[in-house]
Chain A
Amino acid sequence: MAVNTAAIGKTFEPATYAVGREKIREYAHAVGETDPLYLDVAAARAAGYDDVVAPPMFAVVYSLPAVWPALFDEEVGIDFGRMVHGGQEFQWGPVVVAGEEITTTANLKDVSERRGNGFFVFETVSVNARGETVCTGLWTNIVRGV
């Protein structure tokens, strides 16, 4: 059986995520971040930010709402039970702070097959309310035994 490449280029519904102060703190605590910029409003303001700063990898939190529908899309046809996360890349623009709304759009960038495994590469582009790209992600998911 071969992978279905027909959906390459498909763009999925954008998702807007409102970045909250306590969500940033919850995330920072979960991953062990201790920089006061992520946790302490006064420290963030003293450094010139409007509110606590999202750690770079918080990109996962605001991007995932746009990624899930792409992973489960019927045209893409991923067997979720056999999927593993093979690789990840993020490129960051301006930092994100609490109070911002970030809109992420996902597209299916590539599908290929190597040694019996399917490689599904999704791209996400996340923009802030000023239209600046705050993060671009490349999500490589491997589906075993396609």
Chain B
Amino acid sequence: MQPGDELEPLSVTPDRYLTVRYAGASGDFNPIHIDEGFARDVGLPGRILHGLYTMAQVARAHTEAGGGPASLKRLSVQFRGMGVPEVELVVTGTVREVRDDGVVLTESSCEQAGKRIIRNAEAELRLDP
């Protein structure tokens, strides 16, 4: 990897019941993610994706680029806006720096319908852990 290289983009469309499966898998049962009526009652357009699910897609783009789970040493994201089910998510990223010790620094984001729902994501990948 060289500065300026792009990560392989990752696209995924969370299906209608994804938030229910992620709630069960993660232990985060906040009703804004799983109850349409509750979400609307608190002023949301409907059920929204868990931010940490979306972050997991950014992480996946990195471990796939880095060659496995041991390669990802740090990931920092800011959540902006809200993700929704049944609309494609696209993760893109760029290598910003390759340090002398082999650690690769990237910046990345996750878009949905042209809106960045994760931005300013920074990661450190160690390619030969």
Give A residues with C-beta under 8 Å from B. Answer: 23, 26-27, 29-33, 35, 37-38, 53-57, 60-61, 64-65, 81, 84-92, 95, 138
Contact = CB atoms under 8 A, between A and B. Distances in A.
Given A84-B79, A90-B75, A37 B68 contact: yes
A129 to B, nearest CB: 19
Interface in B26-42: 26-28, 42
Contacts of B69: 35, 37-38, 53-56, 95
Nearest to A139: B52
B72 A30 contact: no
Contacts of A89: 74-77
Contacts of B60: 31-33, 55
Q: Which interface residue of B27, B72, B73 has the most chain A CB atoms within 10 A?
A: B27
B70 interface: yes
Contacts of B70: 95
Given A30-B21, A60-B27, A90-B74, 10 more contacts: A31-B60, A35-B63, A57-B56, A64-B28, A87-B77, A87-B78, A88-B51, A89-B75, A89-B76, A91-B73
